[in-house]
Amino acid sequence: MSIDQGNKITKKHDPEYSLEAVPASASERRGFLTMFAIMVSFTFFAASMNFGATMGKNLNFNNFVLAILFGGIILSIYTGLLAFIGQRTGLSMDLLAQRAFGKVGSFLPSAMVSFTQIGWVGVGIGMFAIPVSGVTGLPVWLWVIIFGVAMTGTAYFGLKGLTVMGTISVPLITILGFYSIAHAAGQVGGFFRVFENPAGGLSLLTAIGLVVGTFVSGGTATPNFVRFSKTTKIAVICTVAAFFIGNSLMFLFGAVGGAYTGEGDIFDVLIAMGLLVPAVLVLGANIWTTNDNAIYTAGLGLSNITKVRKKPMTLVSGVIATAASIWLFNNFIGWLNFLSATLPPVGVILVLDYFLNKKNYEADAEPKSVVNIWAVVGVILGALVANFLQFGIAPINAMLVSAICYLTGNSISKTRKQET
C-alpha cells in the first residue's frame, strides 16, 4: 500500500489486473507480435500432436484435411468471439463470469477452470518427466521439480514470461516439426504416401470431435490473454490464427510422424526417427508453452475466488500441480477429460450474456446478481450432455444445450420483470 499526495490510501498497481479490467489506455496493452507469440505458443500443445498421431494412423489424407478444416473453423469461431469480448471489455474470463454467472455464481466456472488447468499442468509435467527420465537415466522426481519450477516461473512473471517463452518455443517447435515431416516423407518416397494405408479406425465425425475437443477447454480461457491487446482486430486475428493455423500444425506434425512410425506418442515418434535431442526439446517446449498459460489461468481463477492477487495464486497452482504430477498422470486423465467437457458451456454463456446484456459490461458497471441460476444450470446440463450423450460432437452438444438453457432462462426472467 502507498499514500498519495492527497493522503488517500491507494492500492499497489497490479500489472496483471487480477481483479479489475485492463484499461484501454493502460501501458500494459500489447501489439500484434507479442499477442501472436503468446496465443500461438498456447496452442502448441503436446496432446494435439498425440491425437494427430492417432488421426494419421487411422485416416486417409482427405479425411484428415477435412477434420482439421472443420474442427479449426469451430474452434476459431468459438475463441474468436471470446477474444472480441475479452479485448472490448478488458476483463479476464473470471471477471466476465461475474457478470454472466453473478458474483458468487462465478466461483463455479473459476473453480472448474482452475481445477482442470492445475490437473492438466500436473499431467503435462508427468508427460515430460517420465519419458525423459527413461532416456537420460536421471530420476523422475528431479525432472518433475525442474520442469514444475520452470513453468511456474514463466507464469509468475505474467505476460512478460509468457511472451519470452512463446518467442523462443514457437520457431523451435515449427522448425523441428517440419523437419520431422521432411524426414518421414523422404523415408517413404513422398508426403502423400505417408497416408496411403490408414487403419481406418476413426470416422470423420469422431476426428472432428478430436480436433475440437482437444483444445476447446483451453480456448475458454482466451480472454485472460487477449484482454491485453491494443485493438480488437489484433485480439481476434491473433486468436483465430493461433487456433486455426497453430493448432492445425500440431495435428499435422503428429499425424505425419504417427502415420510413418505407427507410434501414438509424439515423443516416441521422434525417438523412432532417431531424433533424441529434438524429441526432448519438442516435448518440453510443447508442454511448457501450454502449461505456463494454464498455470496463469488457474491463478486468475483462484484469485477470483479468494480475492488474493494473481501472483501468489499462481505459485499455489504451480506447487500443487508439481507436487501431485505423477499421481495426476497415472490416475486422473479420465477425470480431467470429463471436467474439460464442462468448460465449453462456460464460454458460450459468456458470449451470449455479453451480447444480450452489454450494459453490464461497460467500464463503470458492477456485477448485479449474486447467482444467475440459469447460467449455472446451463453449465451443468451442458456438461452432462457432453459426457453422456453418445452422438455427434461432444463439445458442440454441450454448447447447444447450455445455450438453449440460458436463453430460455433469460427470456423467462425478462418476462417476469416486465410483468412486475
What 8-state DSSP symbol labels residue 384? H
Contact 110, 346 (CB under 8 A): no
Per-residue confidence (pLDDT) for residue 104, from 0 to 100: 94
- Residues 6 or more apart whose CB falls under 8 angstroms from that of 136 comprise 143
Domains in the chain with CATH codes: 25-419 (1.10.4160.10)
Q: Angle at CA 92, nearest 5°, toward 72 and 106?
A: 100
329/381 Cα distance (integer angstroms)? 28
Write out pLDDT tens, residues 126-138: 988 998 898 888 9
Q: Does residue 4 register a pLDDT over 70?
A: no
| Across 302-310, average pLDDT | 90
Q: Does residue 307 register a pLDDT over 80?
A: yes
Per-residue confidence (pLDDT) for residue 3, from 0 to 100: 37
176/178 Cα distance (integer angstroms)? 6
Per-residue confidence (pLDDT) for residue 106, from 0 to 100: 94
Q: Mean pLDDT of all residues in the chain?
A: 85
Question: Poorest-confidence range of 8-12, 51-55, 338-342, 356-360?
Answer: 8-12
Nearest CA among 261, 226, 311, 224 for reference residue 49? 261
Q: Does residue 407 register a pLDDT over 80?
A: yes
- Indicate left, alpha or beta for 284 from its phi (over 0: left) and psi (-120 to 50: alpha): alpha
Which range, 154-168, 196-210, 248-262, 342-356, is most confident?
342-356
Q: Does residue 266 register a pLDDT over 70?
A: no
147 against 15, higher pLDDT:
147
72/19 Cα distance (integer angstroms)? 32
245/250 Cα distance (integer angstroms)? 9
- Residues 6 or more apart whose CB falls under 8 angstroms from that of 249 comprise 44, 174, 177
276/223 Cα distance (integer angstroms)? 37
Nearest CA among 172, 200, 182 for reference residue 257? 182
Q: Does residue 346 register a pLDDT over 80?
A: yes
Per-residue confidence (pLDDT) for residue 15, from 0 to 100: 77
Per-residue confidence (pLDDT) for residue 263, from 0 to 100: 64
Q: Does residue 207 register a pLDDT over 70?
A: yes
* SS3 at position 109: helix
Q: Does residue 1 register a pLDDT over 70?
A: no
**Residue that is written with C-alpha cell 498497481 in the block:** 13
Q: Does residue 196 register a pLDDT over 90?
A: no
Handedness of CA 393, 399, 403, 406 (dihedral sign): positive
Question: Poorest-confidence range of 58-67, 184-193, 229-238?
Answer: 184-193
Q: Does residue 6 register a pLDDT over 80?
A: no
Write out pLDDT tens, residues 86-122: 999 999 999 999 999 999 999 999 999 898 889 889 9
Write out pLDDT tens, residues 391-402: 888 888 999 999
- Indicate left, alpha or beta for 238 from its phi (over 0: left) and psi (-120 to 50: alpha): alpha
Q: Exposed, middle or buried: residue 409 (CB in 10 Å: 0-12, 13-18, 19+)?
A: middle
Q: At what angle do helices 93-101 and 276-306 cross, to 10 degrees?
A: 40
> In sequence order, what are the beta bridge partners of 30?
229
288 against 278, higher pLDDT:
288
Percent of the chain having pLDDT more than 70?
Answer: 93
What 8-state DSSP symbol labels residue 246? I
246/290 Cα distance (integer angstroms)? 12
Which range, 170-174, 234-238, 325-329, 363-367, is most confident?
234-238
Contact 39, 226 (CB under 8 A): yes
300/95 Cα distance (integer angstroms)? 9
Phi, psi torsion values for 10, nearest 5 degrees = -120, 150
**Residue that is written with C-alpha cell 480461457 in the block:** 221
